[in-house]
Structure 1
């Protein structure tokens, strides 16, 4: 029976170029500076002389920066390939969250300052002024609804709220950010003096909104539709790999033309049963090749649990590939892989795809018990065929210290264990995948062991 294991491929993702990341970051900062310059050119500084002018002008500035950050949020998560490959999804998510909370705080400041400033100018009460603004100014009702949507997204993005939500529910709620941004547009373009004061300002804001909307339409909608029509993936079979863990083997058309690498993940939807429209991210667990792919997941919720119930022939819809935990970030010839639990999936695929000499790749695989080791026969086949050195680290983690090692290693510092298990670890590219807390412990151990920061590669998949 055909499998998805290590078949040669024809198309590989392009290598990450350092200037892509720098260019994206510089563009973001320049946009903030530019909108500030627009505020200055629109008498923003001159209007600070009186109390009413100060409140109104400060409200204009906070509104401008809030709008710019809102658009930057959209662009950060629009799945633009060169941006995504430069930063990786975990860092993009962190920056998106930071920009999001900053934009909400500035938006709140904008609402308060503008209301106080207009009330002071009109010598009216604040409540009456707010009512007048919302009910009589063009686009303000839409902007109020958009603000409510954005506040809901911000509240559900707080860590305590995310812990109470399923990924699928959080993702659905998060889509209201697009609605909020869209509803705010008419108010800004109809009544915002800083948007219409000059041809330069008008051109900038229309271009910014057009770029954000275009990125969403092309990369979040158009590209996935095109790839699904082209490749038509279906479930070939479902294989139980261990307690609560299954692999889904998929087949499709022209997959040799799909630019995907080992270590990447897709957002999957399987057209079967209620709730199929909710996407769930799963990494490839085998090197992509031929006309087949394989994903592996542990039963951690409804999205992963339903994989075990899939029938052969079920249509699979996907978005991606995403992630930069690939060979494109590699710096040298030696590899040190650190996996815990289901985190073995992308590293197993990388060990099959990446080039290395016998003895130049080592895998440290953390699990509570032998029955929890996934792909053990495949890993030992790689060890025999390609010379991968494997260390299984079994047992419960120590409760006395923050360590990625089992409790039996407690008397020995983490970095000392690293030097013993991976001699010359500072000369290796370190790939890490596992639970967030465990991954951070590995990264700290690698830092103390002298591994350069640019040789450490990981992606945290927390949302």
Structure 2
């Protein structure tokens, strides 16, 4: 129900944008005038969706509870794609309108806009930055780009949005000389900015002031995985559950400039939380260099598998660094009295981080699946193999965590076995 309310509000907002545009729209058979009207509408809806997109990842607790973090991230991607197309449509139709009116060609027509409209230089810079951020978010590029590059490119989009906003309110016919629409547009942007500043910037600082989080231990778990133990000075205020994740920023050189999403790999108790991280880049590769006493800023906790916990048997499937949240869930579910099976997929035996802990958890049946598919001659996560290793898989509630290709294959296999989609939960090891 809450998700429907959020969807209805978003649609109502888009219709309100159209209502703002309509009184000043000049729609005629003239090609140049029509192109201008389409460009204005595309620009306004694109700007509205920018605010929606920012709110979806502003860490607003009500939105997370209403929609769920996994869907919020999915919606953020969809809205982001739509925004990019609308921005391109705005630029293209504005250029087309000048081309049809003056016949200057595409480059000349675009340059003509600089003479006709104010703040075109800032709008061009901002638009280029937004398009670059969208390009770097493409799945193929995300797989090969350093997280830090993706992170800082997206940080610059806040400046880019401000630059394009100036162009909107100074050049848009809806706002130029019309105080009420201009006030509405300012209110939309300022309220979005307020949510981001409060939930993304002030909240972590206030939480740090309460908890004084610090590193208490760094433990190598395998050749490529490391655990970091973090302690709160106010354990009674700590509200973190196994299976959740947090954005973590270590306040030391080499870590200070970026916050990374890491899952909790224990059942938090006595103010202690643990993250278990695979070495996948420069930041994660430097975690072993951390020393006890380093202060930590934490955002969250976020989503994870919280809220999807029922009675009955559970099947937990982990791959790579996905063992972190799965390890915490396994212990919590076993304490609840649930029948727990953990399937642990790894290419090599020395990649089985936390294996010793899992094997000693009372009430947890651990099944390691080790080896590359080429060496084994089959896929241990296909439907036939899962049915062999876990004969009652179709009667369990499944939680899957790991790299995206593994999640896709595993969820497909579980559905082949007859497990309803509502009982298959998954979380990729990324935030956006």
Same-fold status (TM-score > 0.5): yes
Alignment of 1:115-264 (within 5 A): 115-118=95-98, 120=100, 130-135=110-115, 137-195=117-175, 201-264=181-244
Q: Matched residues in 2 for 1:456 and 1:195: separation?
A: 48
Offset of residue 129 of structure 1: 5.3
- Is 1:101 aligned with 2:77? no
Tell me whether 1:395 sits opposite 2:395 in the alignment: no
Distance 1:290 1:137 in 2: 61
The verdict on how the C-alpha distance between 1:352 and 1:191 changes in structure 2, with shifts beyond 3 A counting, is same
Shift in Å, 1:281: 1.8
Cα drift, residue 71 of structure 1: 1.5
**1:350 aligned partner:** 329
Q: Which of these residues, 9, 12, 32, is aligned with residue 27 of structure 1? A: 9
Asked if the contact 1:268–1:281 (Cα under 8 Å) also holds between the matched residues in 2, the reply is yes
Residue 112 of structure 1 deviates from its aligned partner by 2.5
Q: In the TM superposition, what is the alpha-carbon distance from 1:459 to its structure 2 partner?
A: 1.1
Q: Output aligned runs, 1:326-365, within 5 Å.
A: 326=306, 328-354=307-333, 358=337, 360-365=339-344
Seen in structure 2, the aligned counterparts of structure 1 residues 42 and 299 have a Cα distance that, compared at 3 Å, is same
Query: For 1:429 and 1:254, how far apart are their aligned partners in 2?
Result: 34
Is 1:64 matched up with 2:44? Answer: yes
- Report the CA distance between 1:203 and its aligned residue: 4.7
Higher relative contact order (CA 8 A, sep 6+): 1
Hey, what does 1:447 align to over in structure 2? 415
Q: Name which of structure 1's ranges 392-401 and 231-240 shifts more when overlaid on structure 2.
A: 392-401
1:12 equivalent in structure 2: none
Q: What TM-score do you get using the length of structure 2 for normalisation?
A: 0.90
Aligned-pair RMSD on alpha carbons? Answer: 2.6
CA deviation profile, 1:326-348 (whole Å, cap 9, x unmatched): 2x122443211011222111011
1:169-194 CA distance string (max 9 Å, x none): 21011111111111111221222122
SS of corresponding position for 1:454:
helix
Deviations 1:33-70 (A, max 9, x none): 332233334345xx232222211111111111211121
Give distance in 2, aligned partners of 1:193 and 1:355: 63
For 2:68 and 2:375, the matched residues in 1 are separated by 31
**Aligned to 1:148, what secondary structure does the other structure show?**
helix
Q: TM-score, normalised by structure 1?
A: 0.85
Structure 1 position 126, deviation (Å): 6.2
Q: Note closer, same or farther for the CA distance 1:237–1:196 as it changes in structure 2 (3 Å cut).
A: same
Following superposition, the deviation at residue 144 of structure 1 comes to: 2.0
Q: Distance in 2 between matches of 1:23 and 1:64?
A: 23
Give the equivalent residue in structure 1 for 2:426.
458
What is the rounded CA distance, in whole Å, between the counterparts of 1:233 and 1:184 in structure 2? 38
Partners of 2:107 and 2:359 lie apart in 1 by: 71
SS of the aligned residue for 1:49 comes to coil
Tell me the number of residue pairs that the alignment of Structure 1 and Structure 2 aligns.
431
Residue 374 of structure 1 aligns to a residue whose secondary structure is coil
Question: How has the CA–CA distance of structure 1 residues 361 and 27 changed in structure 2, closer, same or farther, with 3 Å as cutoff?
Answer: same
1:15 aligned partner: none
Q: Which runs of 5+ in 1 are unaligned?
A: 1-18, 406-413
Partner SS, residue 458 of structure 1 = strand
Residue 360 of structure 1, CA deviation = 1.6
Structure 2 gap ranges (5+): none
2:357 to 370, 378, 381: 378
